Structure 1
Amino acid sequence: MKKKRIHNRKYLVDFRKFLRNNVTSAEATLWNSLKGKKVEGLKFRRQHSIENYIVDFYCPELKLIIELDGEVHANFGQENYDNTRTERLEDLGFIVIRFENKVVFKNPEMIVNAILDIKNQ
């Protein structure tokens, strides 16, 4: 039996490209801190898809997903969707960490420290 592809499914290519070209200021700022293996040589991808979900940032080495949440994530329906999504990704063996957008600007070292904590586990 052929193994089912879960990463970067073809039908999501255009949407992923759209998201990469229309980033929020928080995503752009965090990407500048992550790209080029700036955090202890770890490679990150942005707007990476896993199954039917597109995650903000993904580190294959750690199976780590970083999600940034803006105001849109503050309503009940979106919160339920996010929780279901996180549960599914964790069931697939990924680690999911979430931060509010403002953390990127006010306390970026919190994000880097969380990555390093996961790396050192």
Structure 2
Amino acid sequence: MTKLYNQTSEKQKRQTLRNNMPPCEKIVWAKLRNQQIESCKFRRQYSIDRFVVDFYSAELRLAIEIDGDSHYQDGVPEYDRDRQAFLESKGTRILRFTNQEVYQDIDSVVDKIREVICSLREVTPP
């Protein structure tokens, strides 16, 4: 069986992304790190198969994606839809926020993440 999560072949990509996080992702990471939201552990730049998600909770199989300007260029929305469909087919739930949401109202972003964590814990067996 092929390993699906954090494959060695994606290690360099993950490290590069972690070392070059956009400012918006740094803001979200400051809120997620050290289990600050509902004691939920998140990892940053986590790979699932050939895709790297911004933040991932293995406990809940929840990925959080921060969509910057590059996500609105030609062809990228279609790529994102295909990527999301693949990740969801592997049991990963995706929660998306735009840079604008993060910059303008980080508290609402954190509240939404908290709400989703609580909701998933209610239906996800321990």
Please report the TM-score for the alignment, with normalisation by the length of structure 2: 0.89
Q: CA contact under 8 A between 2:38 and 2:117: conserved in structure 1?
A: no
Higher mean displacement: 95-104 or 38-47: 95-104
Q: CA deviation at 1:105?
A: 1.7
Q: State the Cα RMSD in Å.
A: 1.1
1:64 corresponds to: 62
Structure 1-normalised TM-score? 0.93
Q: Distance in 1 between matches of 2:59 and 2:108?
A: 20
Moved more, 42-51 or 69-78: 69-78
> What is the aligned partner in structure 1 of residue 78 from structure 2?
80
What is the letter of the counterpart of residue 101 of structure 1?
A: N
**Which amino acid in 2 is paired with 1:80?**
E
In the TM superposition, residue 116 of structure 1 has moved relative to its aligned partner by: 2.1
Paired AA for residue 70 in structure 1 = G
Gaps of 5+ in 2: 120-126
Q: What's the secondary structure of 2:75's corresponding residue?
A: helix
Listed one character per residue, the Cα deviations across residues 28-59 of structure 1 (whole Å, up to 9, x for unaligned) are 11101100000010000000000000000001
How many residue pairs align between the two structures?
119
Over 6 Å off, 4+ runs: none
Q: Does 1:94 align with 2:92?
A: yes
Alpha-carbon separation, structure 2, partners of 1:26 and 1:99 = 10
Percent of residue pairs identical: 35
Gaps spanning 5+ residues in structure 1: where?
none
| Alignment of structure 1 residues 1-121 onto 2, 5 Å | 3-121=1-119
**Deviation of residue 79 (structure 1)?**
0.5
